[in-house]
Amino acid sequence: MFVKSIGFENYRNLENAVVYPEKGINVICGNNAQGKTNLIECLWLFTGGRSFRGSKESEMITFGEKISRIFLNFYSEEREQTIEIDIAGGKRRAVLNDVPKSYMSQIVGNFCAVVFSPDHLTLIKNGPEERRGFINGALCQIKPRYAAMLSKYKKILNERNALLKDIPRHRELEDTLEIWDEKLAEEGALVAVERFRYIEKLMPEAVAFYEGISDGKENLEIEYKMKCGCEPYMDRYEIAGMMLKALRSHQNDDIYCGYTTYGVHRDDLSVKINGKEARSFGSQGQQRSAVLALKLAEAAVLEKEKGESPVILLDDVLSELDQSRKNFLLKKLDRNQVFITCCENITEAENIVRITEGKISKSEE
Ligand SMILES: Nc1ncnc2c1ncn2[C@@H]1O[C@H](COP(=O)(O)OP(=O)(O)OP(=O)(O)O)[C@@H](O)[C@H]1O
Ligand SMILES: [Mg+2]
């Protein structure tokens, strides 16, 4: 999969233009605050995801304007395809191959990309929610049906939580909890099976990448940890059984808290470097390499599953890596279309675009 052209109107500080990137590695050079991350963010929006900076829609529109329009022409599934996104009134609206879509989620899985920015260090540093979000996002791109499973689970979870809050005032409702426990366990097991399967595929890729980037000196381990103690070899019925048991035995705690304390919304992905939790013991550099390993493993799995390599968006990684790590990274990615930003004046790369005050131009070099 690759981008043939990307256009933008009133997008942050980017000057209105259409840009035609190369199929291989595209280096986006420029000083600070010129619009490099803005360009990466704009490309990412075509996956259907939200801004990886956590920005609101209104923040993406150029100051003083009311509407922003961005469009993408990309090659995938042996044909040219288009996505157009309008951002206005705090909302985004997408048109995929000239067909308007009601929800952004309906374009997920068409234009596939993997993004890494320094903000993604939170994937290791923050709590489990961030890591579940990583697994969820990755799975949604591979298997749009997973998004439906997840939203069904969340709906049941919300119903159960609402009931938990009502029970102290209406004790007679306690009997109905059992129905929600069963539904939640059943639906949660489907989600858990998908996550276990995904991590099984992700692990060898992430481990190999981490070994490569650390020159064989360090090792990475990842494991999907279910709070109710289920293991990857279990089938959905066994998992549902254990979940139901956990839900039933914690009913009183849950009524007391007013929310559900067990289930796939409480699980975590353990990431260890040399046998120690990366979150608590990893150095800054180790954490960065671990996130990079997870992201590029995500791309490798996506490629295997879809038969097409996703576009790789790397914001601010080059400046942090020494020459051998840089070489390893770029060599590893040479089959993908890559957009990589940097502040230095790189001359050795083939396709360099310069960005100055939001204006994009081909480098003379
Ligand atoms: N909605 C907007 N309208 C106009 N300009 C904006 C908008 N949002 C952000 N900007 C401006 O875009 C500029 C460039 O931002 P960006 O984060 O892309 O820089 P960068 O090139 O990635 O810099 P760095 O190297 O420091 O990461 C900032 O100066 C910011 O003020
Ligand atoms: Mg930036």
pLDDT tens sequence across 152-175: 999 999 999 999 999 999 999 999
Classify residue 190: in a domain, yes or no: yes
Query: Is the Cβ atom of 317 under 6 angstroms away from ligand 1?
Result: no
Range list of β-strands (E), the chain:
2-9, 17-19, 25-29, 67-76, 79-88, 91-96, 99-100, 113-116, 220-225, 268-273, 276-277, 311-314, 338-342, 351-356, 359-362
- The closest ligand to the CA of 33 turns out to be 1
Return the bridge partners of 116, or none: 314
How many angstroms is it from 358 CA to the middle of ligand 2? 12
Helix%, strand%, coil% for the chain, nearest 5: 45, 25, 30
Quick one: which of 245, 140, 129 has its CA closest to 189? Answer: 245
How many angstroms is it from 360 CA to the middle of ligand 1? 14
Query: Among the atoms of ligand 1, which is closest to the Cα of residue 60?
Result: 1
Domain count, the chain: 1
pTM tops 0.75: yes
Query: Is the Cβ atom of 160 under 6 angstroms away from ligand 1?
Result: no
At 333 the pLDDT is: 87
Please answer whether residues 189 and 237 qualify as being in contact, where contact means their C-beta atoms are separated by less than 8 angstroms. Answer: yes
Quick one: which of 147, 76, 140 has its CA closest to 311? Answer: 76
Classify residue 245: in a domain, yes or no: yes
| Nearest CA residue ID for atom 13, ligand 1 | 33
C-alpha neighbours within 13 Å on the C-beta side of residue 265: 20
- The closest ligand to the CA of 35 turns out to be 1
Classify residue 314: in a domain, yes or no: no
C-alpha neighbours within 13 Å on the C-beta side of residue 158: 6
Distance CA 2, CA 26 (A): 12
Classify residue 127: in a domain, yes or no: yes
Classify residue 100: in a domain, yes or no: no
pLDDT single digits (tens) 22-51: 999 999 999 999 999 999 999 999 999 999
pLDDT single digits (tens) 261-303: 999 999 999 999 999 999 999 988 889 899 999 999 999 999 9
At 343 the pLDDT is: 85
Classify residue 204: in a domain, yes or no: yes
Which CATH number goes with the domain that contains 161? 1.20.1050.90
How many angstroms is it from 331 CA to the middle of ligand 2? 23
Q: What range does the domain containing 194 cover?
A: 120-307
**Quick one: CA torsion of 285, 286, 288, 291, rounded to 10 degrees?**
170
For residue 180, what are its two tokens?
């929600």
